[in-house]
Amino acid sequence: MSRAAATVATDLVRAQARALKMPGLARSYESLARQAREEHWSHEEYLHEVLATEMTSRLDSAVRHRMHDARFPEVKTLDTFDFSAADGINASQVAELARGEWIGRAENVILAGPIGTGKTHLAIALGVEAVRQRRRVAFGRAADIVRMLVEARDQRELSRLHRRLQNVDLLICDELGFVPFDRSGGELLFNLLADRYERRSVLVTSNLAFAEWVKVFAGDEKLTTALLDRIAHHATVITTKGKSYRMRKRSIDEKPADSTPALSKVAKKS
């Protein structure tokens, strides 16, 4: 092919790739063509390599979109989680959960324990793993989810919001228990979570023991029992223990200053 013909072909392929929405192909076809010429690939081999690049590019962009749609408050991953500093958390159990099969089975995870013991970190990290497996995830603090539900109800858009949230494979409801709901807020959250029962997964983190959940739901024993029945039915429950990670880390980092009364008092208080 003459140089001029090659330039025309390049322009045409670029335009075709744009029209067909194949950015991976557009990026890779020229360098792969050079490699193909040098290494004497068949036409079929070349086509295969170009399409493989396009596929990888599409999968990467799906993960990026799902990461964005999940609305994690920040990205936390398992490789930054220090299991040796995490009381009550079993590394191999978490590794098993990270494989995401429980999400395929529409099972649940409950992370319960005191503040600062890594519940949110783990919840996000498991969510990130699920996204990497190209599952749809939505993250929200319980109070924000309830606020969203209340607003949607007031605007008569509740069923639309339900549909959107029911579409995700994993709904992460963080910090259940920090803010109690009034009766109607509690009912809205109950309906959302109960709807997912045996269909889609939920991951709940809470600073409360199960017996205290009723406090969050305006003292409604019946509703709380019904919710717990459903959520805990097919659930892995992980109970974190001990002192706040940050407090503990601070007292380890400042070991020589351990005798400082103010610091040890702070650490004990948590």
The residue among 20 and 252 lying less far from ligand ADP, judged by its C-beta, is 252
Per CB under 6 A, contacts with ligand ADP among 60-79 are 76
Helix count and strand count (H, E) for the chain: 13, 5
Show contacts with Mg ion in window 119-138 (CB under 5 A).
Answer: 120
The interface mask with ligand ADP, positions 41-60, x = CB under 6 A, is --------------------
CA 76 to chain centre: 9
Choose from ligand ADP, Mg ion, none: what does 245 bind? Cβ within 5-8 Å by kind: ligand ADP
Question: Site map for ligand ADP, 229-248, x if CB under 6 A?
Answer: ----------------xx--
Asked if 82 interacts with ligand ADP (CB under 6 A), we say yes
The pair phi, psi for residue 174, each rounded to 5°, is -95, 150
Nearest residue (CB) to ligand ADP, 25 versus 70: 70
| DSSP category for residue 76 | -
Q: Please give the torsion angle defined by the CA atoms of residues 204, 205, 210 and 214, in that order, rounded to the nearest 10 degrees.
A: -80
H or E element: which one contains 104?
A: helix 101-104
Candidates 42-50, 91-99, 115-123, 226-234 — which segment interacts with Mg ion by CB under 5 A? 115-123
The residue whose Cβ lies closest to Mg ion is: 120
In the complex, least distance from residue 187 CB atom to ligand ADP, rounded to whole angstroms: 26
Largest CA distance in the chain: 83
Picked from Mg ion, ligand ADP, none, the partner binding residue 246 (CB below 5 to 8 A depending on kind) is ligand ADP
Looking up tokens 């009381």 gives 87
170-176, strands of its sheet edge to edge: 137-141, 170-176, 201-206, 108-112, 235-239
Alpha carbons 199 and 190: distance in angstroms, whole number: 15
CA distance 167 to 137: 9
Q: With binding defined as CB under 5 A, does residue 117 bind Mg ion?
A: no
**Region binding Mg ion by CB under 5 A among candidate stretches 55-63, 116-124, 135-143, 249-257:** 116-124
Q: Contacting ligand ADP (CB under 6 A), which of 117, 201, 206, 224?
A: 117
**163 neighbors 132 (Cβ within 8 angstroms):** no
- Residue ranges in contact with ligand ADP by CB under 6 A: 76, 80-82, 85-86, 115-121, 245-246
- Residue ranges in contact with Mg ion by CB under 5 A: 120
